[in-house]
Structure 1
């Protein structure tokens, strides 16, 4: 009995280590908008290219407190490591808001945020990486500065001076846009982003015409293409994978309790924002969580780019939405306890048969981890108390 009591602290420590390893391992499930069985298998021979997409890390850099440095950041590092080991992705995409308040920080603190992020990546450092600019990174419209955006964009891989990027990996074409600038009125950054959209639109049209050119010239249009498609000659879904921080405007609430975008007196209201507001500075602003790109910019993107699929962020919650033209948009949840109690991310598999499989991955709740730590401390204290009384 005495030997068992003396061994209890060691047993608790081992149990805690095992618990930490388990809770840092993601749990993933396929979210399939297409019932085609060919797109439901993740580990078949047709699998081509797997991308892990995260968002809203909200790092504080040199301004981080002890709780973030020694607890939350430590677990985020474990999340990345265990996700890499289990899912074996080929690329990492961050859909904005790497920084909690980068737009209001000094250049040195922004660099410390990037160093903090790099230290978390672990095995991901060997993979292709793309980071989209978010509103926390570069600020609101009234604070948007082309010079500072250019400086931040230059510190990130694959972005031009306007904060946009276009690249191809493993025969999958991606376009990322500075959605923050597209929210604003007449400014140089917005015009620069629209130039990128126009340039990519020309590429989409030329690639589509080239791929559909037969021995006697371009193929005739298939029956059923609506007049909207005929205007540019490129059907919906023929363009690149589109990466944004802000979601596109949506006319219907397709996500229910997962990401409820309701309309009240003409204003969007996100039910989940009430929870985030309780988390203080990190969980709120600069923009409300219900912000989406305006309808005119949304239609402009659809007309010009004909995106294959869209990935966005900002709301902190997962959403899988089908737009009226059939284009699928997946909103990636926040991967930080600073934004919500149950962080997550998505894994996207692009296949050789052009199918796209999206898996939603969940991570441990902060409240569950804290309860486990509290339970261990109580047990250790009780054991020590019993042992002292038996002496």
Structure 2
């Protein structure tokens, strides 16, 4: 007797049952919840350190003069060198005076000749005046003598003026210091032929010291002449010197797009401050926009092309994206005009790696966790 083969449907049901049993006994475990991500948070700042700007600078003299001869010639000798302290009227250099002295002597000789001609013309006029009274010469001859006298008088004045010029030029062969100061640099050597007006020395006057800095074009409206500043020298860290902005350039540098400015040091604080030293200037800048300040990196792209910031929800430790309206961007901070409360915990960095609803652990700039209920670092000072 032949055994009947199982029907295809029966075999299909048996295979399905075996597969279901295998899957039921080998189910995968549930995926663990992702750990909370640490994020740096700050409170929006309405004033204080957020409005402080720091600029590198260099110590310069308030009065810097390029010293030059008023006449040209060969530089005969140089009396001082760079770094020397000089006083007003001190001789700094001299050019060869021979040619100028000869010109002075020539001018003096022309004066002597003009004086002799003037004397002769005056004598002739006086003699003709006596003859006119006696009616021995005509009136026209007397008028000619008067004209010759006035011409001789004018020539004498011109000769004396030329002699004065020649005398001054002879005195210009010596270059003197116009004020007390320090020779910052020298630009010529003995034996060199120099032209009138060519710089020989650069003199840094003793009357005051300043720091030369450059202000950013984007925030130039926040600075003004007379604004207070603090100066810190690189070789004297931690020591602050008071100062004020003395001048701001009216035009920006065409390449750097910055405005040159000078910060004057207080007169009683210039002792020990040397020319050329590096310095750091801190200015409490006035903000042009009202609102709270947040770090530049806190601003993220918002919906429909707007701006937003990440804010930590204290109740759930999760992130929320808050649309905001910002003002003009600064170098480090951005004013937020609306959309943000002063007590909000704003994520200050790494916003491009975050998402809405993500669980986070807020920390401060010293990597200390925040107590969200008190909005303060959990660690004690």
| Structure-2-length-normalised TM-score | 0.18
| Higher strand proportion | 2
Instruction: Choose 1 or 2 for highest CA Rg.
Output: 2
| Higher helix proportion | 1
